[in-house]
Structures are given as C-alpha cells and as structure tokens.
C-alpha cells in the first residue's frame, strides 16, 4: 500500500464519518416520527384510517340479500351461512351467518361481490380477545328474512341510510369495462414469448393449445352472459366509464339471478367444458 493510498484511506474515513455524524445530528433536532399509540394521540387511529381500509369484517344484516356470494368468494372458508327459501312467500330466510375472524385473511374478496354492501370491512383492527370462541362473530340470533332490493329508491329511512353507506363502499371497487380505443398500444394477451427452449416435454402439448384456445373462444360468449353473478352495469361498454355514478340498487340487481338458477347454469356449463377439455389434464402429471 503506497503512501498516497494510506493517507487517502484516512482522509476518506474522516470525511465520511463527519458526513454521517452530520446526518444523525440533523435527525436529533427533528421531530420523531412516532405514533404513541394508544394513549398519547389526538384522535383515535381508527378514525384516521382510509375508507378502503380492510379491517375486521362487519355485516349489516338488515340489507343482506342472502345471495351467498360472499360465502362462495371467500378463499379460506371463514364465512358460514345457511339460507332457506320459503316456497310460499318466496322469501329467503337466513338462519346462520358466522364469520370466523381468526381465520379471515382480510383480503376483501367477500365484500367485492356483495350487491348491497352488507358485508364490508371496517376500520377496526383491535380484535384481540381471551378466548378463541369469541373470535367467531355470529351475526344471527334467530332466523331473519333476507332483504329484497326494491326497484326504485328504498322507502324506509333506516334501511336507506344503511344502503347508502353500503353502496358507497361497493362503489369504491373498480367497475369492469373495456378500453374504448381500438388502436390502443395494449399488447394482445395471447402473443407471448415462447417458453424457454429447455422445456422439451411440452412439445407434445403445443398442438393442443391453439385448439383449446379456439374452443375456449368459441364457448366464451356463452359462459360470460349466463354465469355472471357479479352485479354489473349491463349497459354497453361505452357507459362503463360513467359507472362511478352508481345506479340505484334495483338496476344493479336486475342481472342478479337467484342463486339457485345460477348454480344450475354453472353446473351445466361445468359438465360441458369438463368433457371437452378433461383429457389434457391428467397427462400433465409426469412432467
């Protein structure tokens, strides 16, 4: 090590340590970035959280339509619901609505398909308790009749208030639509770079892929219109952008077929497409 390098090391050490200490000194005179939760804060933290915050789930049972969309959507099976359809009055009776918040992973997939916003995330996050039993929130004490959405605005003021809050929550979610511009620079999805060359076992399957894709395209329109359970704006795509102004509940639910009918459709289509495409599945296992 030459003399120049030696003294350069010393100079660098002193200069960088000087700089570093200046930075820390500047932090000593600034205000600390600490929220002294829970007692030394001006407002409750729950009130400062954004509206979309995914805290502990809550259900407004008065506006629950009993459609079971949340039960189906939950990926971890933390919602347990039981409904019956009264044959004479054609009313839906909900006899059980339990949410196990210990299991819940706060993903929001249940509140997305809810037509009225009955099930929603609150800004509560303090749910710690002493017993595991108390973490199963049971919302039904005795069987209740499900809410039937009206065609126009809701007449009853209490329900209208709940509905307004629920729809406000639901409207935060993105409204599906498609790009208007035909010459958009968005890449066409089925034009990928081919898989890495080392994957030779896949060659046996590549002839099947275009056929499968074509078959899917052929059957695509049918499932899309029949199996739609998500409440969507059924107007054409051009008005999808104006979906921020939420239509009344009645319009939203126009396409919300009763759950049993949708299930039947799903079952039929399931059988069809399973027959058509099942053979390619088991062949995958060796690779």
Q: Under rule CB under 8 A, which residues in 51-90 are in contact with another protein?
A: 52-54, 69, 73-76
Q: Under rule CB under 8 A, which residues in 131-160 are in contact with another protein?
A: none
Residue whose CB is less far from another protein, 110 or 154: 110
CB burial string 195-231: b at 16+ within 10 A, e below:
eeeeeeeeeeeeeeeeeeeeeeeeeeeebeeebbbeb
> Under a CB-based contact definition with an 8 Å cutoff, are residues 104 and 82 in contact?
no
In the complex, minimum distance from the CB of residue 152 to another protein, in angstroms, rounded to a whole number = 27
CB neighbours of residue 280 within 10 Å: 13
- Output the six-digit token pair for 34: 């600490």
**Residues 217, 250, 258, 268: which binds another protein (CB under 8 A)?**
217
**Residue 108 interacting with another protein (CB under 8 A):** yes
**Residues 31, 132, 197, 203: which binds another protein (CB under 8 A)?**
31
CA 258, 223, 283, 202 dihedral sign is negative
- Of 59-67, 132-140, 153-161, 239-247, which segment contacts another protein by CB under 8 A? 239-247
In the complex, minimum distance from the CB of residue 236 to another protein, in angstroms, rounded to a whole number = 12
Residue whose CB is less far from another protein, 40 or 90: 40
CA distances from 155 to 60, 158, 261 (A): 17, 9, 29
Residue whose CB is less far from another protein, 145 or 213: 213
List 132's β-bridge partners, or say none. none
In the complex, minimum distance from the CB of residue 189 to another protein, in angstroms, rounded to a whole number = 5
CA distance 62 to 72: 20
**Residues 60, 71, 154, 229: which binds another protein (CB under 8 A)?**
229
**Residue 125 interacting with another protein (CB under 8 A):** no
CA distance 90 to 172: 32
**Residue 278 interacting with another protein (CB under 8 A):** yes
Strands 91-100 and 144-145: antiparallel
Residue whose CB is less far from another protein, 93 or 269: 269
**Chain centre to alpha carbon of residue 168:** 16
**Residue 227 interacting with another protein (CB under 8 A):** yes
Q: Under rule CB under 8 A, which residues in 247-276 are in contact with another protein?
A: 266, 270, 273-274, 276
> Under a CB-based contact definition with an 8 Å cutoff, are residues 137 and 81 in contact?
no
Residue whose CB is less far from another protein, 134 or 234: 234
**Residues 3, 5, 43, 128: which binds another protein (CB under 8 A)?**
43
Give the contacts of 251 (CB within 8 A, at least 6 positions apart): none
**Residues 3, 5, 25, 183: which binds another protein (CB under 8 A)?**
25
């Amino acid at each position: 090590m030459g003399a120049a390098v030696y003294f350069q090391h010393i100079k660098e050490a002193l200069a960088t340590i000087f700089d570093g200490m200046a930075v820390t000194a500047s932090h000593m005179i600034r205000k600390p970035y600490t929220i002294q939760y829970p007692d030394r804060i001006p407002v409750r933290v729950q009130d400062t959280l954004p509206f979309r915050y995914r805290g502990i789930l809550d259900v407004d049972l008065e506006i629950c339509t009993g459609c079971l969309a949340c039960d189906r959507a939950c990926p971890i099976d933390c919602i347990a619901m039981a409904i019956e359809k009264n044959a004479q009055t054609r009313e839906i009776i909900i006899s059980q609505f339990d949410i196990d918040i210990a299991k819940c992973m706060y993903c929001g997939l249940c509140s997305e398909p809810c037509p009225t916003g009955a099930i929603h995330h609150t800004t509560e996050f303090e749910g710690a308790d002493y017993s595991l039993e108390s973490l199963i929130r049971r919302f039904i004490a005795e069987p209740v009749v499900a809410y039937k959405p009206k065609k126009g605005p809701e007449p009853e003021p209490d329900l209208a208030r709940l509905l307004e809050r629920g729809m406000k929550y639901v409207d935060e979610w993105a409204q599906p639509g498609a790009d208007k511009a035909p010459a958009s620079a968005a890449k066409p999805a089925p034009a990928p770079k081919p898989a890495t060359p080392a994957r030779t076992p896949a060659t046996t399957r590549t002839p099947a892929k275009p056929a499968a894709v074509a078959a899917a395209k052929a059957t695509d329109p049918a499932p899309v219109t029949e199996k739609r359970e998500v409440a969507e704006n059924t107007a054409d795509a051009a008005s999808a952008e104006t979906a921020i102004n939420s239509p009344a509940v009645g319009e939203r639910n126009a396409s919300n077929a009763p759950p049993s009918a949708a299930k039947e459709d799903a079952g039929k289509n399931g059988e069809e497409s399973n027959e058509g495409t099942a053979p390619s599945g088991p062949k995958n296992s060796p690779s």
